[in-house]
Structure formats: structure tokens, C-alpha cells
Amino acid sequence: MVVTEGDRTSYSGVVRGRTGGRVLHSPHGGSFVFDAGAVCLDFAHTGGEGEYAIFETLHEPADLAEWLAQPPLAAVVTVPVTARELADAKALRQAIWDAAHARAADRPLPADAVATINRAAAAPPLVPALTSDTTAGWVPPVRARQALSTLAREMIELLSGPLAERIRECAGDDCPLVFVDLSRPGSRRWCAMERCGNRHKLRALRARRRTERRGA
């Protein structure tokens, strides 16, 4: 179900609350806040394979625990993350990344990505728990595998729901960041204004000046 709150459109995902985005660090220095619009998509940007290996942030099981503990997922594991769970997390991350890019490009979803997402989703997910002060938490024991299932289920809901067509790759040159556009008019183009948006504005401004000089 799609709900509208303020100027944003969001969906009642299996993950509670909106993601406020995550700070991404460039291996070449610098950082910026990137909001992928869904926690599963945020998770897809924690690193990668091949050319993206330099962006890796999940080096050891404790790194995964720390990522999962951040809001809005706020899944503080009560059972230490295993090396196997970390490996499965990276496989799920790659599958989410591949599926999101395929959807953004209107290509069929890769079969192996679908299989990996379904396998992760088949595990028992995090179980929500209400406390008497009306805050929500997760029923212990909280395991990383459950959190991965919750992320995989969110991705399934996203890909099969009305916002699937809002999954986009950043319009910046050579910027592979992928997000779900939750703006009401559906006009989001950039991973982050302070990154690709401003670069684009600057380039457009320079091009206009060049044209004006030629015309003068």
C-alpha cells in the first residue's frame, strides 16, 4: 500500500519507518548522505564486488552487526554475527543491487538474483514487539539472518509493488547509485543534490556561458 505523508510518498514496508539515509564515504576522500528510499536499497550500497570492492564497509561480522543496529531497522543482534551470515549478507546485497539495476533499466530480473533474494526471505524474519511505552523493538533473540530475511522481504515488496517503476539509477554521469524515488511528483534524478545534482548544475551553467559567449 502506498501512503502519502507530507510531500513524500512512501510504502508500508516490512521495515518500520523511513530511512534517513546513510553517510557514504568515497575511498578517494569525502562523504555525503545518500538516501536510497528503502532500507534494502541502502543496504545494497554498503560495498560490492569487483570494481566496487574499494567501497566495502562490511569487512568482518561485527561491521554487519553495526550496520543492522542503525535506525530505522535498529536490529541490535543478540547473537553474534557469524562469518557465514556475513557471506550470505554480501550475496544478498549483490542480488538486491543487480535486481534494482535491472528494474531501473527495464530489463528482466536476473534469475540468480531472484533466487538469492527468495532464499534470504524464506528464513524467519525479525519479529516486531511492542513495549508499554509504545515504542517498537524486535523479539529476542535477534539474529543477523532474520534481519537479512526482513531486508529481502522488503525488496520483494518493493519490486512487486507500485513503486517498482520508481526505482532509478542516478542520472549523474557514471554514477551507479540506485534508489527508489519517493518524491510526490516522481522527479528525483540524483543520488544526492550535493553530489551529482550540483555537478550537473555547474556543468549546465558552464555550457550556458559558453553558448552565450559564442552568441555575443
Q: Smallest gap, in angstroms, from Cβ of residue 184 to Zn ion? A: 21
Residue of the chain from 14, 65, 73, 170 that contacts Zn ion (CB under 5 A): 170
Amino acid at 66: E
Of 15-23, 118-126, 141-149, 165-173, which segment contacts Zn ion by CB under 5 A? 165-173
191 binds Zn ion (CB under 5 A): yes
196 binds Zn ion (CB under 5 A): yes
Q: Smallest gap, in angstroms, from Cβ of residue 43 to Zn ion? A: 18
Total residues contacting Zn ion by CB under 5 A comes to 6
User: Who contacts 195 (Cβ-Cβ below 8 Å, separation ≥6)?
Assistant: 32, 34, 172, 175
* Binders of Zn ion in range 102-121 (CB under 5 A): none
Q: Per-residue DSSP letters for 158-188?
A: HHHSGGGGGEEE-SSTT---EEE--BTT---
Of 13-21, 138-146, 153-161, 166-174, which segment contacts Zn ion by CB under 5 A? 166-174
Where do we find the cell 513524500?
Answer: 8
Instruction: Return the closest-CA partner of residue 142 out of 60, 47, 65.
Output: 65
Q: Map 75-121 to HEC letters.
A: CCCCCCCCHHHHHHHHHHHHHHHHHHHHHHCCCCCCHHHHHHHHHHH
Using CB under 5 A as the criterion, what x/- string covers residues 117-156 for binding Zn ion?
A: ----------------------------------------
Q: Smallest gap, in angstroms, from Cβ of residue 163 to Zn ion? A: 20
Give the interface with Zn ion as residue ranges (CB under 5 A).
170, 172, 175, 177, 191, 196
